Structure 1
Amino acid sequence: MALVPYVENSIPALSKLQNSSAQFRFANHDLRLAQDWKNLGVAAVVWDAAVVMCMYLELGKVELHGKLAIELGAGTGLVGISATFLILPGAEVTITDREPALDFLSANVKANLPTDCQRSVVVSELTWGKGLERYPPSRFDLVLGADIVYLEDTFVPLLQTLEHLCSDTTVVLLACKIRYERDRNFLSMLKLRFKVEEVYYEKQRDIHVYKACKLPRRRDL
């Protein structure tokens, strides 16, 4: 996630983002996520898309047990932490964000996962489109992203990252609020390389969940 400066005079709808923590119950576990809007901005608060992604994962529409999963732009880590509980045993979850957010993210992971679960989790730096050689290509079964589609400058490196991480059988789940036409443009870009379908919509929060799978490469005749 990108980092943005703190604005003291925020609108009331955003006041919950300025709380020092947020509490949830997912995967039969009570989770308490630290938030730090003042110092880290959007990378350190729980957005509705993350909550809806966790809700969708709990529905059991996607096979999770024993999968190798990676979360992009994890922020507070809510999605990756919830996914860890849902896909154990035999699972491995990599939870990623940009370097400035890693200490904060790691602290949330450590505070919310029991020691035995932490052995199956890696918190790792990932700036989209850069240093991808550190991540084995086509390795992951599941790629998760909650509210990571909002900055147009990141669309091309995000697509590059998805293509690198995904095999033909990888499932990508993106939870998004469609705010602007550029967000729809990203979905159009994604459809050039992936089969994309909307699998869930949470009306109250206006969040869409999209499932994407890599399209087979075209071969010249």
Structure 2
Amino acid sequence: MTTQAAKEVPWVDAWVRWERNNDDGDTDHDDCNDVEEDDEELPPATESYTFTYPNPSADSDIVLELKGFHEDSEQIWNSTGLKLWRSSHYLCQHLVNEEAELLQDENNTNLRVLEVGSGLGRCGLLAHSLSHDNATTVLTDGDTDTLKQLRQNVSTNTSAGDDTITCKQLLWGEQHAKDYLSQQPNGKKHFDLILGSDLIYVQSVIQPLFETVRTLLCTHENAKFLMAHCSRREGNEVELSMVLDAAKKEGFEYEELIEDDDISLFAFRRKGAETET
């Protein structure tokens, strides 16, 4: 059976900030005539970042070279994923210090890792670099321009022909997640580890995020969602209690792994998760 690749749609995260949504919570593309389906090039990135991380399974370090945009640029106004955000540092440090053994354990055959709201791809690319050869990593974002820059960063940091890492558009919400699953080839479709940092900046995205994770996360007891969250930003309307309440509503229990001033790292797991056989 051949699975048809999903068609990507024009989408910018500014629509969420402007609350240009329909009653179902999906972006109303008919009302967003300022973005069209075209191949307009993203302007060259103005900022370059280099990150070096130890690789416990190799003699050489992991070096990531990322490009993005300055926070004052016009591109950031439309697509917040085009800049680097602080919480990604905490998630990356946790991946190196606490998750490397899991990612590099070849007994975890066909390990599948998903990053939601990848932005420039810092955390997802690090997870991919730490993972064993049989692992699969999928980096996702909803924003059209962010995806363009994300794919450039993935190309820069991976070998030609590496088919263990891919970039996909993923809009949030239960139906979007189900549509994503329906478009995957036969075999294992869900994910053992889901990652995300600096994902929540308006209340309207909280429930769709956890619906997406609930739909895409494996049901075995070791499956988890690692999320780094910043609770203090200018104009922030999201309280941490809103995030945690939404997680519990979607059937997750949580553990706070790191708390540093306004940034927290949480591990979310399904309540009553099954023991995988």
TM (norm. structure 2) is 0.66
1:2 maps to 13
Q: Deviations over 1:40-99 (max 9, x none)?
A: 312111111111111000012472235200000000000110000111221100000014
> Which residue of 243, 258, 261 maps to 1:200?
258
1:80-159 paired onto structure 2 within 5 Å: 80-100=124-144, 101-115=146-160, 118-129=162-173, 130-132=175-177, 133-135=179-181, 139-159=190-210
Q: Distance in 2 between matches of 1:156 and 1:45?
A: 24
1:211 and 2:255 aligned:
no
2:229 to 176, 181, 198: 176
**Residue number in structure 2 paired with 1:64:** 103
Give SS of 1:127's match.
coil
- In the alignment, the residues of structure 2 paired with residue 50 and residue 61 of structure 1 have an alpha-carbon distance, to the nearest angstrom, of 15
How far apart in 2 are the matches of 1:214 and 1:55? 24
Q: Deviations over 1:146-186 (max 9, x none)?
A: 11022211112111101111132221100111225533211
Name whichever structure is richer in helix by fraction.
1
Is structure 2 residue 85 aligned with structure 1 residue 34?
Answer: no
Provide the secondary structure at the position in 2 that maps to 1:167. coil
Q: Could you tell me how far apart the structure 2 residues matched to 1:166 and 1:35 are?
A: 29
Identity of aligned residues (%): 23
Structure 1 runs, 4 residues or longer, greater than 3 Å off: none
**How well do the aligned residues superpose, as a CA RMSD in angstroms?**
2.4
Name the structure where strand makes up a greater proportion of residues: 1
- When normalised by structure 1's length, the TM-score is 0.82
* Match status 1:44 vs 2:82: yes
What does residue 50 of structure 2 align with? 23
Figure out how many residues of one structure are paired with residues of the other and give that number.
Answer: 201
